[in-house]
Amino acid sequence: MVDRPRTLRFALLVVALCALVGLFVWFATVEPDPERNHYPDGDDLGGEYDAHVGDRVAVGGTIVASDPAVLEVDHAHGTSRYELRNPPAVEEGQYVRVYATARPDYELVVDDAVVIDGWERQYMYGISILAALWVAARTARQWRFDANRLGFVPRPDSASSTAGDGRSMATADGGDRDG
Amino acid sequence: MADLLTHVLVAYVLATLASIRYEWISPAHVTAAMAGAMIPDLNRLELVVPPELVEPAVGIPISWTAFHTLGGSLLVVAIGVLCVPREYRRGVAAMALLGMASHHALDLLVTNPTGHTYPVLWPLSAYHPPTPGLYLSSDRWPAAVAGVAAAAAWYLRYRR
């Protein structure tokens, strides 16, 4: 016997997954367009720098020399180094994003920049990983996979917000905050 | 582009405060909102699976950045909603959308040297709207403020 709702659900799931893959492919074809405030980035410059000479560009990378300032940018085609003209005050190891004009010979004339210390980036990634682990732990504690229904369902004590027992709710959620 | 802890805490605050008014919102729903707030940052998959490694395998370039747009984020919400049985779908959809929307709302405020942010409405529009530049993803204070707000929301909901 065909289980109609289940078949429909899997069909929709496949459609959504295919559409998502389609967006991954489509987004990769989007070209910079200054009219829409979308400037060439590190990947674009790394691909063919000379095609972008004279363009306003938006590039991020690591400072590898400070006098003169040199920005090292990892991109899809490898790694490039750009000498910064009119740079902000920078030290080696800092992460810098610049809004700049591309000049011949890998020179970027900086219009505006954001400078981040190496440890600040590490903080950002560290705290973000902790957040992901927190949500994963909450999910594992509050949801389970129901093989009969082929889906994720809340575990009983996590779903009963209407039970009206404020104490038990407090315990259920309060415990999470330690984890 | 704010740090992920800020996003998750803000979703916790919004969902927990909403649960005071709407009793159907359970702790499991709050978690759905927090998970929803992580969706746009799935673009960080690029750190684990660089797109230039995928390209030779599939034959065409791809970009994980699509996750960090309305179109990509909505599709992930839809996929998540289809992974729960029918009676939970409305609640999970509402919560995941709340978390996902709060993520984009916060990221539209992030400082960028161009003065503009990212194409949030893509694929509807490729326009990068201007940003007020309130903070950087590496700033510490957004997570601190969100943490205090989360503690306050928890107190209001479960202790008062």
Task: Name the residue ranges covered by the structural domains of chain A.
Answer: 1-30, 42-116, 118-160
Q: Which of B28, B38, B60 is closest, CB to CB, to A132?
A: B38
pLDDT digits (tens, 9 = 90+) for A35-72: 999 999 999 999 999 999 999 999 999 999 998 999 99
Q: Are strands A107-116 and A95-103 parallel, antiparallel or unpaired?
A: antiparallel
How far is the C-alpha of A107 from the C-alpha of A85, rounded, in Å? 7
**CB of A143 less than 8 A from some CB of B:** yes
Burial status of residue B9 (CB atoms within 10 A of its CB: 0-12, 13-18, 19 or more): buried
Q: What is the mean pLDDT of residues A143-161?
A: 88
How far is the C-alpha of B14 from the C-alpha of B29, rounded, in Å? 11
What percent of chain B has a predicted confidence (pLDDT) above 90?
93
ipTM: 0.95
Rounded to 5 degrees, φ, ψ at A167 are -65, -50
A172/B66 Cβ within 8 A: no
- Report pLDDT for B110: 97
How does residue A127 score in pLDDT terms, banded at 50, 70 and 90?
A: very high
DSSP codes, B25-82: --HHHHHHHHHHTTGGGGGGHHHHS-HHHHHHHHSS---GGGGGSHHHHHHHHHHHHH
Task: Please tell me which residue of chain B has the smallest CA distance to A13.
Answer: B79
B69/A161 Cβ within 8 A: no
Q: What angle do the packed helices B141-158 and A166-178 form, to 10 degrees?
A: 160
B114/A99 Cβ within 8 A: yes
pLDDT digits (tens, 9 = 90+) for A84-108: 999 999 999 999 999 999 999 999 9
Measure the CA angle with vertex A44, ends B49 and B50; round to 5°.
Answer: 5
**CB of B126 less than 8 A from some CB of A:** yes
A28/B51 Cβ within 8 A: yes
What percent of chain A has a predicted confidence (pLDDT) above 70?
87
pLDDT digits (tens, 9 = 90+) for B76-106: 999 999 999 999 999 999 999 999 999 999 9
A39/B115 Cβ within 8 A: no
- Report pLDDT for A159: 73
- Report pLDDT for B160: 80
What's the fold here for domain A42-116?
OB fold (Dihydrolipoamide Acetyltransferase, E2P) (2.40.50)
- Report pLDDT for A177: 39
pLDDT over 80 at A4, yes or no: no
Which among A29, A36, A37 is the top mutation candidate for probing chain B, defined by the most B β-carbons within 10 Å of its own β-carbon?
A: A37
- Report pLDDT for B117: 97
Asked if residues A43 and A31 have their Cβ atoms less than 8 Å apart, the reply is: no
